[in-house]
Each structure stands twice: as C-alpha cells, then as structure tokens.
Chain A
Amino acid sequence: MSETVKKFLYVNRKAPYGTIYALEALEVVLIGAAFDQDVSMAFLDDGVFQLVKGQSTDGIGVKNFSPTFRALGDYEVTKLFVEQESLDERGLTADDLQEITYEDEDDDWEEKPSIRIVSRSEMSDVMADQDVVLSF
C-alpha cells in the first residue's frame, strides 16, 4: 500500500477490561497490519496483564478479546515485547501468559513464539529504535 516502511511501536501500559484502551489498541494493530510497516508491540506496566491466559468474561458480560492476540501472527505482527520487571512487580511469570506464536516463512514455516520477554533496559532500546510510537 505504501513505499515507505517505518518502524511502528504500539505501547500498551493498561490492564484489559477496566478500560477500552487494550481492545481499541488491538484494533489499530490489526487494521494497521495492511500497511506492511515494521510493527512491534510493547507490553509494560499494567499492559502485561493483557496477555495473561485464562481470561473468562462471562461473569462481567463483556466480550473476551484475548483470543485475538493469537491471530496477530497471521497479520505478520510477530514482535510482542513484554517487560520482565513489569511482570515481576505484578507477581507474574512467562508461564502466566498466553502462548502466542507465528509461522516463520523464512524458516520453513516453523512455529515460533511472538512474545519476547525483555528487560526494562532492553525495552528502552526497543522504544528508542522506532520511527512512530503510538500510546493507548
């Protein structure tokens, strides 16, 4: 759709369901995928809660949108950076998070994890490497 390829980072720092930011951020990412940009997502602070597995929303009457994260690979959004310190502060480990994978077309379609757990310092580096940063 466009000649220019920029590095886009979508920054998620809020928990799901209490506010709409997590859901509407995901909607931007999915629509944005059509523009063939170099997309990454960052999950830090309360944003790490968005990726926790086992979400069940029947009791609150809102749509459970967590399965949508697993579709990101099909949209070629394969870089989900999750901050270690944010997990630690919240008593979470990698095991608490959903399994989100993509098929690497450059490696015989091997299934690989999209979630990359990084340190705070590495997250800073990721942020500093972007052309466009969208915060929700």
Chain B
Amino acid sequence: MKFGIVVSEGPYTHQASDTAFNFAKAALENGHEVPRVFFYHDGVNVGTRLSIPPQDERNIQQQWTALGKEHNIDLVICIAAAQRRGLLDENEANRQGKDANNIADGFRISGLGQLIEMGIQTDRLMTFGD
C-alpha cells in the first residue's frame, strides 16, 4: 500500500506528529510505502531547524529528517500555513524580505496542491491532528 500522511498539529504540544511518525515507521518496516508526508495547520512547525528539545526527549524534527532520508519520503510543508506561522526556506525569506529562514534539512515548502496530489496518488490517506 502507498500511504499518504497528513500531520496537522504542532510538535510536542500535540501527540499527532509522534503518532504519525510511529505509524509511518511501522508501515515502512512492513513493506508499505510512504511517499509523502504533508504538514498543515500548526504541523508546519515540525519543520523548524531551530527547536532544542530537552536532551532526554525525542527530537521530532530530526526524527522526521532521518526517516525522510532513509526512505526517500517527500516531507512537504504547506506554504500558506507556513507563511502564517513564520516557517521559511531561503527562497521564501528572500522573496518576502525577511532577515532569516528556519526550515530544517529534508523538508520543502510547497503548495496545497501537493496534499490533493497525495490523495490522488496514494492508496490510503491518514490524518493525524487534533
């Protein structure tokens, strides 16, 4: 099966991202594909490289970056939701005249069309939110 995953709540505050991550890992370890994970609403905040969680806790962003690299997962952050919440890549920062960018390795910012496309191209769409 090809699973598309939506993470629609922010890291740490909600369990959504953790559940999504655990689901994705289990799916991949059991012969399924996870071609894309789409981050929407506060879920875009998963993709900041500036978070410093306590040493003895999981690092949600790094977990996703590593899983994404290992399994070639397209980690997509919705541009509209990202702009609202201040999650920028270098291009966006330059384009919008902001003095910094904060996107993490392995994530890319793109449009809502990627979510619809994911719905069309995968067999099952899973939503993890609140």
Q: Which of A28-36, A62-70, A91-99, A121-129 contacts B (4 or more CB under 8 A)?
A: A28-36
Complex Cα distance A13/B116, Å?
20
Known contacts A27-B80, A135-B129, A136-B8: A20-B41 contact under CB 8 Å: yes
Chain B nearest CB, measured from A124 CB (Å): 19
B interface, how many residues as a size bin?
Answer: 10 to 19
Contact with A along B71-87 (1 / 0, CB 8 A): 00000000011000000
The reply on A71 being an interface residue by CB < 8 A is: no
Contacting pair B127 A28 (CB below 8 A): no
Contacting pair B80 A134 (CB below 8 A): no
Contacting pair A32 B116 (CB below 8 A): yes
Q: Which of B23-31, B50-58, B107-115 contacts A (4 or more CB under 8 A)?
A: B107-115
Collect the chain B residues with CB atoms within 8 Å of residue A34's CB: 113
Contact with B along A12-50 (1 / 0, CB 8 A): 000000001100100110011011010000000000000
Known contacts A2-B120, A24-B81: A35-B41 contact under CB 8 Å: no
Of A32, A35, A134, which one neighbours B125 at CB under 8 angstroms? A134
Chain B nearest CB, measured from A7 CB (Å): 10
A interface, how many residues as a size bin?
Answer: 10 to 19
B 96-119 contacts with A by CB, 8 A: 111-113, 115-117, 119
Collect the chain B residues with CB atoms within 8 Å of residue A28's CB: 40, 112, 115-116
- Most interface-central of B41, B117, B120, B125 (chain A CB within 10 A): B120
A 45-101 contacts with B by CB, 8 A: none
Collect the chain B residues with CB atoms within 8 Å of residue A20's CB: 41
Contacting pair A8 B129 (CB below 8 A): no
Contacting pair B113 A35 (CB below 8 A): yes
Chain A nearest CB, measured from B130 CB (Å): 9
Contacting pair B120 A6 (CB below 8 A): yes
Contact with A along B38-72 (1 / 0, CB 8 A): 00110000000000000000000000000000000
- Can you list 18 A-B contacts with CB-CB less than 8 angstroms, sorted by A residue number? A6-B119, A8-B116, A8-B119, A21-B41, A27-B80, A28-B112, A31-B111, A31-B116, A32-B116, A34-B113, A35-B113, A35-B117, A37-B120, A132-B119, A133-B125, A134-B6, A134-B119, A134-B125
New A-B pairs, 20, CB < 8 Å, besides A31-B112, A34-B113, A133-B125: A4-B120, A6-B119, A6-B120, A8-B116, A20-B41, A24-B40, A24-B81, A27-B80, A28-B116, A31-B111, A31-B113, A32-B113, A32-B115, A37-B119, A132-B120, A134-B125, A134-B127, A136-B8, A136-B41, A136-B129
